[in-house]
Amino acid sequence: MSDWAREREDADWAVQEERERSPERGDGAYNFANCTGFLDFYEMHTRDHQAGVPEVVQALCRDLLEKDAETPRDTVFEVKTFPKTCERLLMKDPSGVNRLIGELVVPSAETARDRGLTEFDHYSVSMGDVWKWMLPLIENEREEMRRPQPDYAVGFLADAFTEEQLRKMEPYSGIESYFRCTASMYFPFLTTEIATSKPLDMADVENTYSAGLGAGGVVGLFREAKREEELHEQVVAFSISHSHCAVRIYAHYVMVDDGKVSYYRHLVREYELTPADIEDRWTSYKFALALYSNWAPEYHRRLCSAIDDLPDPPELDTPN
């Protein structure tokens, strides 16, 4: 077993009680400047790579944006009701915005499955859950940033993997895991943050942090499988930030340079939720469905291929 795996196995399970406590989102020290500084230090950048956006990233994002999908009928996004919806959104807090348009901006993977919009049946969905299982950013024996708590997140259920694959992941999947963010979610690949009481830029940063931790788990997997270089210029996560009047879609990709791994963020699309921009209102909805039905199943196959190449865990000694 590698040192990296042994560290996960030896994690102190007593910290779980501490992880149960949800962080206070109003913490004054948790601001844009502080967070971007921490993220840059850990190579989780809120920008594109200095050499430009890799063509493979641009091609993937173009392809996903071009995917069409059937949109639900008789909703507040109907042409005749959309202007009034925009007015109402101005008076809503995050929970009100989510209740009014949340499913129309980012549809649930579970709902998409139930409606037959995706054939993949192994998505794990969370809403406001603290990522208490995932290894945090730690410096000087303290957490530099509180654990992610995205308003909405999608990853994979345990039953998306075979018993043999779960066995191979077990040494890495304890309470401080690279692969698992909650008890029921492996390899999160989509997060959403809603911004009304905070700037949209701050929601972007929170999504970048979540995506960075998730991407770090994927890099750890491929590194243990001795296939790390395959992740160079590859998208490993997406995020959507939105407020009552604006939506931003991001792709998060990996750059590997002589063994050094960095994470970058690419703005896929930004648009406003206003009557003047009514033609754009379904953009993120269709994009998310394209992730569920096209990108994520193929991404899952790549993860499984790497898991299959993990070393066999040592057999546990059994008492006589």
User: Of 176, 190, 51, which is closest to residue 108 (Cα–Cα)?
Assistant: 190
pLDDT tens for the 320 residues of the chain, in order: 444 334 333 333 323 333 333 344 444 445 666 788 888 888 999 999 999 999 999 999 999 999 999 999 999 999 999 999 999 998 888 889 999 999 999 999 999 999 899 999 999 999 999 998 987 765 544 556 788 999 999 999 999 999 999 999 998 876 678 889 999 999 999 999 999 777 899 999 999 999 999 999 999 999 999 999 999 999 999 999 999 999 999 999 999 998 899 999 999 999 999 999 999 999 999 999 999 999 999 999 999 999 999 998 877 544 44
CA 236 to chain centre: 9
Long-range contacts from 22-31, C-beta under 8 angstroms, 24+ separation: 22/130, 22/149, 23/130, 23/146, 23/147, 23/149, 25/149, 25/198, 27/146, 30/145, 30/146, 31/202
CA atoms within 13 A on the CB side of 87: 4
Q: How far is the first Cα of the chain from the last one, in angstroms, to the nearest whole number?
A: 24
- Exposed, middle or buried: residue 70 (CB in 10 Å: 0-12, 13-18, 19+)? exposed
User: What CA–CA distance (Å, rounded) separates 208 from 263?
Assistant: 9
| pLDDT for res 12 | 30
- Give the pLDDT confidence score for residue 147 in this predicted structure: 86
pLDDT of residue 198: 77
Instruction: Report the distance separating Cα 179 and Cα 184, nearest Å.
Output: 11
The reported pLDDT for the residue numbered 26 is: 44
pLDDT of 145 reads 72
